[in-house]
Structures are given as C-alpha cells and as structure tokens.
C-alpha cells in the first residue's frame, strides 16, 4: 500500500548538495517526495519507494536544486549612492568617501528619514528580484539606523518584507556598522549602547537571529568588536563578522574564537585566523561583487581555506554602497572567475554552506529527507549552467508545496 504525499517530482537532475560522494551530491533521473512542507524521500528512479501523489511534476531531466540562500545582505535601506559611484570612478576611495561623512553614513541619513512602509516597499522589490533567481532564504542586516529606534525599524522592515514577498528572512543586528554622528567623539559610548540596550532588547524580544559588526579601520576595532560579541554571547545570540575586508585586524580569528557562524569578505585573513575558523567551523563568506565594485586587488586566500577545510559560502552583500546588485547568480560566476572557485564550490556556496553560515543547515541547504521542501527547477539540464550563463530566465519554477 503506497503512502500519499503532497508532491512527487520525477526525472529531475538532482543537485542535492548532500555528501553522497558525487559532485554537488548529483543524482540523475532523481525522484523527490514532499509532504507537509518537508522532503520525505529522495533517490534515483530505479530505487523503490512507498510514495504516491495526485500532484506530480515531470522535470524532464532539468536541474533541481535546493532553494538558494543569500546569506549576507543589507537589503533594507533608503536613498541611493549613485553619486558616490561616480566619485569612485573619478578616483576617490571608499575609505576617503566614508571619512568625509559619505558612505554608510549617507545611507543612515536616508534610512532614518524613511518610514517603515517605505523601507518595506523597497525591500520587497529587492527580495522579488532575488526570488526570480531561485533565492528562497535571505539574511538581512540592520546597520543603517545606528540608534535604538532606527535599528529596530530596520529589523521590523526586514521581517515584514519577507512575509510580504514569501521569502524566509533571517535578520542580523549590525548596529556596530559605523559610528553615528551623535557619538562622533565617543565610540565607546556607542558600543556601550549596543551592548547594554540594543542587544538585550533584541535578544529578549527575538528580533534578530545573529549579531554582526564591521571590524575595520573605518569601522570598529578588534577590542570594540570583542565587546559586542561578548554581549551577544551573554544573550545567547550567535555572531558573524565583516572581517578583514580592507586590512587584517584579526577579525576572522576573533569571530572564530566565539564559534561564530561566519567571517565575511576575508580578503586579508591570515593563516592563523583560518586555522581558528577550521577548528570552530566558522564559514568563510565570499562577497565577490563588493571586491569587484571597490576595484580591490587583494583576493581571499582560497587555497588556504581549502587546505584547512573551511567551508566557503557566497553572497551578494547587496547594499547601496559597495554591492548595488540583487544578482546572486552573477556573484557565483564572479566567485569562479575572480577567486578561482570550482562550479561545485560555487553551488555549495549558495546552498549548504550558505545554510551553515546562517546556522540553519539542519533545515535547509540540501535536498535530504527531513529538510524543508524548498526547491528550484531550472531551465537547463547542465549543472554548470547555473554558474556559467548570465542573464535571461533561468528559473523554471520555485517549488514550495
């Protein structure tokens, strides 16, 4: 007697991203059974299973992946920084623009002035653009509010936009993104506000899934980041970090010391930090679009990450300053062409390893029994196509029964 289930998908080229010994966990002519929002069976056509369904999809050999995950974005913001792009083209550096009061602080001004509804509307649009590329889970950071009310407004906007767009949004508190002008001469006072007011409030009310900081010469020091992480740890919130993007302040090692989820950017990360990341399972999240847009030349130490067994994730870093993009597939392509990743590493970077970078790999990131039934059917039979081709209608169907 067969068991009824909500959906059966046949004849798919399954990129399971599970560890089954095949590249990308490939299963050709694969079958997936889904029931009550979960995957209940996965296997090849010749294997027998007990499921039947009135709802079936014949994938006709097309590629099926887990829903993609963009694990590092600043999707909630107002205003535009197009003028700064023009300045950078004229030779002014990102750091110089920030030091002159532009950069992150110019987006802070616009974001503080925007209503919750305005922020939600802009974020929904950007979420829909990601969704059109097969992205079903998105991490969104605060960090353009820089005071209690506006940071909370950003987190609320992120959640509301996710609901409206039908995308699973994970939120991250990035209050330590830049120093707000009202604390211009008192960085320690601002760090204190984050540690004693914001983090406790956010933790008690479950408003964020993680805490992040910008550890950099133009951001916060190692010691200040350490204070933020200690407060997050006291309140039971996992940490991640904008680490070693423009210089090596030891940020990736620090986040690994806290058994953090991920160190992101990581262009200048040292071998000592990489070893700590490997020991504590901290993912290296690559943000090739920001590298490209800032005209950076120092590449992340990919070979050392591989050698020490650090998992690699890839994300858009979508933000109005350094990564004006909602094109995650282009970021996959760039991670390969600019940083030398393989097709398999790129695909794992936006599925299982992106799930690890958010601490949700028990639930998402691969096509395995027990995980969320969030799948993407692509307009191709070629695995490498996901990384190779740019533009056009790539997604045939998002599947979320």
Q: Which of the choices ligand NIG, Fe ion, none does residue 273 contact, using the CB cut-off of 5 to 8 A by kind?
A: none
Residue 154 CB, nearest distance to ligand NIG (Å)?
13
Residue nearest to Fe ion (CB): 317
Q: Nearer to ligand NIG by C-beta: 31 or 319?
A: 319
Over the window 61 to 80, marking each residue x when it contacts ligand NIG by CB under 6 A and - when it does not, the resulting string is -------------x------
With left for phi above 0 and alpha for psi between -120 and 50, is residue 211 left, alpha or beta? beta
Q: Nearer to ligand NIG by C-beta: 9 or 215?
A: 215
SS3 (DSSP) at 353: helix
| The one among 317, 344, 345, 361 contacting Fe ion by CB under 5 A | 317
Please tell me what DSSP assigns to residue 29.
Answer: E
Residue 218 CB, nearest distance to ligand NIG (Å)?
8
Over the window 285 to 324, marking each residue x when it contacts ligand NIG by CB under 6 A and - when it does not, the resulting string is -----x--------------------------x-xxxx--
Give me the count of residues in the chain: 401
Q: Which two tokens mark 359?
A: 């601490």
Q: Which of the choices Fe ion, ligand NIG, none does residue 107 contact, using the CB cut-off of 5 to 8 A by kind?
A: ligand NIG
Decide the pairing of beta strands 135-141 and 38-44: unpaired
Which residues in 83-102 contact Fe ion (CB under 5 A)? Answer: none
Which residues in 225-244 contact ligand NIG (CB under 6 A)? Answer: 242
Residues contacting residue 82 through CB under 8 Å, at least 6 positions apart: none
Q: Which of the choices ligand NIG, Fe ion, none does residue 322 contact, using the CB cut-off of 5 to 8 A by kind?
A: ligand NIG
Half-sphere exposure of 193 (CA within 13 A, CB side): 17
> How far is the C-alpha of 160 from the C-alpha of 148, rounded, in Å?
18
> How far is the C-alpha of 314 from the C-alpha of 283, rounded, in Å?
10
Q: Nearer to ligand NIG by C-beta: 51 or 77?
A: 77
Contact region with Fe ion (CB under 5 A), list: 9-17, 253-261, 309-317, 387-395: 309-317
- The DSSP annotation for 81-108 comes to -HHHHHHHHTT--HHHHHHTT-THHHHH
176 binds ligand NIG (CB under 6 A): no
Q: Which two tokens mark 182?
A: 């009202």
> How far is the C-alpha of 275 from the C-alpha of 294, rounded, in Å?
28
How many residues in the shown chain lie near ligand NIG by CB under 6 A? 13
> How far is the C-alpha of 44 from the C-alpha of 29, rounded, in Å?
6
Which residues in 99-118 contact ligand NIG (CB under 6 A)? Answer: 103-104, 107
Residue nearest to ligand NIG (CB): 321
Residue 263 CB, nearest distance to Fe ion (Å)?
12
> How far is the C-alpha of 170 from the C-alpha of 70, rounded, in Å?
10
Contact region with Fe ion (CB under 5 A), list: 44-52, 55-63, 311-319, 363-371: 311-319
Cβ-in-10-Å burial (0-12, 13-18, 19+) of 314 comes to buried
Contact region with Fe ion (CB under 5 A), list: 3-11, 178-186, 187-195, 313-321: 313-321
For 239, phi then psi, to 5°, come to -120, 155
Binding site for ligand NIG (CB under 6 A): 74, 103-104, 107, 214, 242, 245, 290, 317, 319-322
Binding site for Fe ion (CB under 5 A): 317
């Amino acid at each position: 007697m067969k068991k009824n289930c909500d959906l059966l998908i046949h004849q798919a080229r399954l990129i399971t991203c599970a560890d089954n010994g095949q590249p990308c966990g490939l299963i050709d002519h694969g079958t997936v059974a889904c029931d009550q929002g979960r995957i209940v069976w996965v296997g090849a056509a010749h294997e027998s299973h007990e499921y039947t369904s009135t709802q079936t999809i014949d994938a006709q050999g097309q590629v099926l992946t887990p829903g993609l995950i963009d694990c590092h974005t600043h999707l909630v913001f107002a205003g535009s920084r197009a003028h700064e792009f023009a300045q950078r083209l004229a030779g002014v550096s990102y750091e110089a623009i920030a030091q002159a009061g532009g950069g992150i602080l110019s987006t802070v001004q616009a974001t503080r002035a925007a209503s919750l509804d305005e922020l939600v509307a802009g974020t929904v649009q950007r979420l829909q653009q990601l969704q059109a590329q097969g992205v079903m889970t998105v991490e969104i950071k605060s960090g353009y509010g820089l005071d209690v009310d506006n940071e909370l407004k950003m987190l609320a906007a992120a959640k509301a936009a996710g609901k409206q767009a039908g995308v699973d949004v994970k939120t991250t508190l990035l209050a330590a993104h830049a120093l707000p002008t009202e604390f211009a001469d008192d960085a320690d006072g601002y760090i204190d506000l984050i540690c004693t007011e914001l983090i406790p409030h956010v933790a008690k009310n479950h408003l964020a899934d993680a805490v992040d900081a910008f550890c950099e010469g133009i951001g916060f020091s190692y010691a200040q980041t350490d204070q933020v992480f200690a407060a997050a740890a006291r309140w039971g919130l996992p940490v991640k970090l904008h680490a070693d993007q423009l210089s090596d302040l030891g940020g990736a090692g620090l986040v690994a010391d806290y058994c953090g989820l991920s160190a992101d950017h990581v262009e200048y990360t040292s071998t000592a930090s990489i070893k700590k990341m490997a020991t504590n399972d901290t993912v290296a999240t690559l943000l090739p679009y920001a590298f490209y847009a800032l005209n950076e030349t120092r590449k992340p130490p990919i070979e050392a990450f591989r050698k020490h067994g650090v998992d690699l994730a890839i994300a858009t870093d979508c933000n109005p300053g350094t990564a004006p993009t909602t094109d995650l597939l282009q970021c996959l392509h760039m991670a390969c062409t600019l940083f030398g990743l393989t097709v398999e590493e790129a695909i794992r970077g936006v599925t299982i390893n992106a799930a690890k970078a958010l601490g949700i790999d028990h639930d998402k990131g691969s096509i395995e029994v027990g995980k969320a039934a969030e799948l993407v059917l692509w307009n191709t039979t070629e695995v490498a196509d996901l990384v190779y081709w740019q533009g056009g209608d790539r997604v045939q169907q998002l599947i979320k029964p």
